[in-house]
Amino acid sequence: MDKKLEPIVKSLQDKFSATFEEFRDEVHLFVKPEQIVDALTLLRDEYNFELLSALTAVDYYPQETPRFHVVYQLTSIAKNLSVQIRVPVNGSSPKVPTATHVYDVANWRERELLDMFGIEFDGHPDPRRILSPEDMEGHPLRKDFPLGYEEPQFTFNFDEIDLRKPYAKE
């Protein structure tokens, strides 16, 4: 771990009883969903993490519970540091408080997570899908989302598939 990161990790451990993991010099801090806004505010105001460089999620279904990790990747340009905060959440419609009032950039990224993983962000100003069409069902980046959409057409099943293919009208 970077020397400059040690006090930061320590203070997060004290304040939020955060656990942390280290992998190839990268620090991952785990906090609870209700603490995330405070943790982000602390990091931004006290420790110069002025940039939320990535906000994404991982679905560990079915190996792990809780299945989702919401990942906040923070960068401090002033100190040349980066740290990762992870919020484990579970269930079919998990909820995390929104970070839009801490980092403006979180707005579209949270919409993307809502779209792709179905993670809801409490208090988000504009909770709509961002990439897929509005009327789409399901969340494509979930591990239990069906992979293929159409069966490939070969000579032996050509007619059968042709019958149920939704051809356009004039």
Please select the residue that binds another protein; options are 24, 147, 159, 163, rule is CB under 8 A: 147
Q: Nearest-CA neighbor of 99 among 122, 66, 132, 69?
A: 122
Please select the residue that binds another protein; options are 62, 148, 155, 164, rule is CB under 8 A: 148
In the block, residue with structure tokens 């598939």: 161
* Candidates 28-36, 70-78, 84-92, 132-140; binding stretch for another protein (CB under 8 A): 132-140
Instruction: CB nearer to another protein: give 78 or 131.
Output: 131
* Candidates 6-14, 16-24, 43-51, 134-142; binding stretch for another protein (CB under 8 A): 134-142
Indicate whether 142 belongs to the interface with another protein (CB under 8 A): no
CA 7, chain centre distance (Å): 26
Q: How far apart are CA 58 and CA 70, in angstroms?
A: 7
Please count the other Cβ atoms lying within 10 Å of the Cβ belonging to residue 84. 19
Q: Which of positions 72-131 make contact with another protein (CB under 8 A)?
A: 131
Instruction: CB nearer to another protein: give 80 or 147.
Output: 147
Q: How far apart are CA 71 and CA 2, in angstroms?
A: 20
Radius of gyration of the chain, Cα coordinates, nearest whole angstrom: 20
Instruction: CB nearer to another protein: give 62 or 148.
Output: 148
